[in-house]
Amino acid sequence: MTKLKELSSFLMGVPLVWGLAIGCSSVPIAADTNASQPPTKASADMNRPIRVPVPLIEHRLPPEQILDKGAVAEAHCTQALAQLAALDSDQRTFDNTVLAFEQSVMDYVDAINRLAILKDLHPEEAVRLAAAQVEERSGKYLVQLMARRDLYQALKSYSENRAAQEGLDTEQKRLLDLTLRDFRRNGLELDEPTQKRLVELQTRLVELTTLFQLNLNANESRIVVSDAELAGLPEAFVQRLKKAREGGWIVTCQYPDYFPFMENATSEDARRRLFIAFQSREADKNTPLLTEAISLRDQQAKLLGYETHADFVTEERMAKSSAAVKRFLSDLQTQLRPRRDADYARMTELKRAETNDPKATLQPWDIAYYLNQIKKRDWAIDSEAIREFFPIETVLTGLFGVYETLFGIEIVRVEGADTWADVPLYEIRDANGGGHVGNFYLDLYPRPGKYGHAAAAGVTVARQVGSDYRAPIAIMIGNFNPPSTERPSLLSHDEVETLFHEFGHIMHQTLTSARYGSLSGTSVARDFVEAPSQMLENWAFEKDVLDRMSGHFRDPTKKLPSETIEKLKAARSFDAGYRYTRQVFLATFDQVIHSSGPEVDVEAVDRQLYADILGLTPVAEAHFPATFGHLMGGYDAGYYGYLWSEVFADDMFTVFETNGVLNPAIGLRYRQSILEPGKMRDADELLREFLGREPNNTAFLSKIGIEK
């Protein structure tokens, strides 16, 4: 997953945090003393502007200063926009109207994101709550901003003056067109009473989405298991469990506990209890929040003239319509069904043999466990044994080396950086001349109150301001096994793949050279944004790459054996039937709840689709919709994008397969064609440029075992 609540444009009702693209003045934000390194020399490519480092995250601010800084940023933005709106029509130029709007709001975005990001990462609850207030206030402020008729009329007035637009280049025209489109999609062509109602709906949505994620971040769900129920679990896992006050051992719903337990615990009842706890996190609070959000989104869509929220969302995506998305998901579901059933048959057979019960049936809490057993049995792949070859520092060194080779960069740790929770900070430099490219943080271990999934978040957006280019800052978030006194943090191969994926987002966010912040980095169409990172997951299966990234934690000279790598590669799609059917289920659930009117019983829809698509018996005690954070984090009616973009990811990888996965010439071409442009051009055009042909789905279907 990329960014948490990332805004790829002026998305209605979505809070600003992790924003990557609201449009925006060079009006200075309040002085920030936590500046990063001084400006560096230009890179060897003299066609590129100098990248100027920007202030880093001020994590030591007390809560009251976080609130004050948010208010100051808002005041500066308001003042700059007032000057823009006050100009006479005959005074309007691209610079004092379109660009001034872009830069004013972008300055605000940058200032707010450095504050709001603390909501999901800071160790102190008081700071997280203050940052959440800033996030919520900023979301409401942007709702009001995008409802301002004076700003829309200013931009529209300029757009209607053809003489004033003489000499504009393609990128300037694109910024104007997309900014006007975003205003229209926020109701500026509606009458005032209707628009007022739209603003009320959007404002409430800001509150709902902030609360939903705060609830999940604060969740402390757990189960307590007996000694007997620890059977099958790796000894290292058992050793780090904490003793429960009432007796037994605590297993939490955080990733480092949940996934190893579900994959290895032989106790079906313990797996069932943990599954229900995980699938029911914050159900009492979050289910009504999601239900209300669906109703508000439906009302918004209808006010804007769309039949459903799904129609509204997909109009500006690669898919273009919800009908196209439904066809895509339905066709894929049909094609996957034989493979899904074959996966179930193998798991059921294994369960019956293990339990000596010829009538045993497969349950949802069995899936991870029996897939892991099949991997061990049929492919001789022991995930826990493989983990010993991937100490996180070794993995990161190899990971950085791969990206350095491909993209012509250097990655250097910033020693002595003042960060929260001792999170490391890195600088990216251009290998040709050493010019500053950007910074990123690696926040890799779980802690109370922290965002609970894997993600990459843009904090400061790359963009040109005058003759300089403001360098970006990003954060990669993980929740991997923390190190202990006996052993370092050891990653599973799946987690290595996750690192490749999320760091691919970091590259997309930091290597962009797009001129405008609202169109830079990962601000591309949401159903394309995952493609660059999904493509880079393929590197986690290549021997040359894994030789760089592996080394047994007791003897680093021992690399992951070649035969193990071949087995991992051969078994890569062994569970494709179930795995991709589950993705179809998630995407279909999202589409259905956002195209079924204002009154939707999300749990009933979940149960129905779970049975129809996954073919499993729904678990009455589970409340999955309350945990589906994507739907309250910018992926509403857009979750299908994971599958949609994977088609393009696999197609792009064929170029590397043919020419070498560590080929720097192809890497540079990929950087220039896919990563650098951002949204300055449509994704379809970027794909055709990199591929040298029209994209197709052949590689994707072949990977998941479907012949065309």
Determine, yes or no, domain membership for 158.
yes
Residues 58 and 198 in one domain: yes
Residues 191 and 77 in one domain: yes
Alpha helices in 49-169 (DSSP H): 63-86, 100-116, 125-145, 149-159
**What is the Cα 109 distance to its own chain's centre?**
18
Query: What's the structural domain count of the chain?
Result: 2
Mean pLDDT of 484-513: 96
Q: Which two tokens stand for residue 615?
A: 């073919």
pLDDT tens-place string over residues 403-452 = 999 999 999 999 999 999 999 999 999 998 879 999 999 999 999 999 99
Determine, yes or no, domain membership for 534.
no
Determine, yes or no, domain membership for 621.
no
Residues 59 and 195 in one domain: yes
Determine, yes or no, domain membership for 141.
yes
Q: How far, in Å, are 45, 199, 400, 402, 672 from residue 411 at the CA level?
A: 18, 44, 7, 11, 19
- What confidence score (pLDDT) does residue 432 get? 84
Residues 61 and 178 in one domain: yes
Residues 194 and 224 in one domain: no
φ and ψ of 561, to 5 deg: -60, 145
Range with the poorest average pLDDT among 23-27, 157-161, 215-219, 290-294? 23-27
Cα–Cα distance, 2 to 157 (Å, whole number) = 36
Residues 55 and 198 in one domain: yes
Provide the percentage of residues in the chain whose pLDDT is more than 90. 90
- What confidence score (pLDDT) does residue 326 get? 98
Cα–Cα distance, 535 to 652 (Å, whole number) = 7
Whether pLDDT at 24 is above 80: no
- What confidence score (pLDDT) does residue 28 get? 25
- What confidence score (pLDDT) does residue 21 get? 27
- What confidence score (pLDDT) does residue 50 get? 82
Asked if residues 103 and 468 have their Cβ atoms less than 8 Å apart, the reply is no
Residue burial 177-198, b: 16+ Cβ < 10 Å; e: rest? ebbbebbebbbbebeeeebeeb
Classify residue 458 as exposed, middle or buried by CB count within 10 Å of its CB (0-12, 13-18, 19+): buried
Contacts of 664 (CB under 8 A, 6+ apart): 405, 406, 408
Question: Is 502 noted as a catalytic residue in this protein?
Answer: yes
Q: Which of 641, 628, 643 is nearest to 293 (CA)?
A: 628
Q: Is 441 helix (H, G, I), strand (E, B) or coil?
A: strand
Higher pLDDT, 15 or 605: 605
Q: Which two tokens stand for residue 374?
A: 């099949």
Q: 252, 271, 290: which is the final residue of a domain?
A: 271
Higher pLDDT, 484 or 10: 484
Residues 56 and 180 in one domain: yes
Residues 174 and 224 in one domain: no
Asked if residues 482 and 464 have their Cβ atoms less than 8 Å apart, the reply is no
Provide the percentage of residues in the chain whose pLDDT is more than 70. 93
676 torsion bin: left (phi>0), alpha (psi -120 to 50), beta (else): alpha
Residues 239 and 105 in one domain: no
Q: What residues form DSSP beta bridges with 470?
A: 52, 463
CATH number at residue 56: 1.20.1050.40
Determine, yes or no, domain membership for 449.
no
Asked if residues 431 and 410 have their Cβ atoms less than 8 Å apart, the reply is yes
Residues 128 and 265 in one domain: no
Q: Which of 623, 628, 624, 614 is nearest to 363 (CA)?
A: 614
Q: Which two tokens stand for residue 74?
A: 């808002």
Whether pLDDT at 209 is above 50: yes
Mean pLDDT of 358-366: 98
pLDDT tens-place string over residues 333-351 = 999 999 999 999 999 999 9
pLDDT tens-place string over residues 28-78 = 222 233 333 333 333 334 456 789 999 899 999 999 999 999 999 999 999
pLDDT tens-place string over residues 641-678 = 999 999 999 999 999 999 999 999 999 999 999 999 99
- What confidence score (pLDDT) does residue 47 get? 56
Q: Average pLDDT of the chain?
A: 92
Cα–Cα distance, 706 to 708 (Å, whole number) = 6
Residues 200 and 226 in one domain: no
Sequence letter at residue 374: I
pLDDT tens-place string over residues 350-359 = 999 999 999 9
Classify residue 148 as exposed, middle or buried by CB count within 10 Å of its CB (0-12, 13-18, 19+): middle
Contacts of 505 (CB under 8 A, 6+ apart): 2, 3, 456, 474, 476, 522, 532, 533
pLDDT tens-place string over residues 273-295 = 999 999 999 999 999 999 999 99
pTM: 0.90
Its domain, for residue 170, covers 51-205
- Residue in 388, 497, 502, 676 annotated catalytic: 502
How many distinct helices (H) and strands (E) make up the chain? 25, 11
Helices 149-159 and 100-116: angle between axes, nearest 10 degrees: 140
Determine, yes or no, domain membership for 654.
no
Determine, yes or no, domain membership for 63.
yes
Determine, yes or no, domain membership for 418.
no
Residues 85 and 186 in one domain: yes
Cα–Cα distance, 8 to 19 (Å, whole number) = 8
Residue burial 199-217, b: 16+ Cβ < 10 Å; e: rest? bebbbbbbbbbbbbbbbbb
Q: 147, 182, 205: which is the final residue of a domain?
A: 205
**Length of the chain (residues):** 708
Mean pLDDT of 255-284: 97
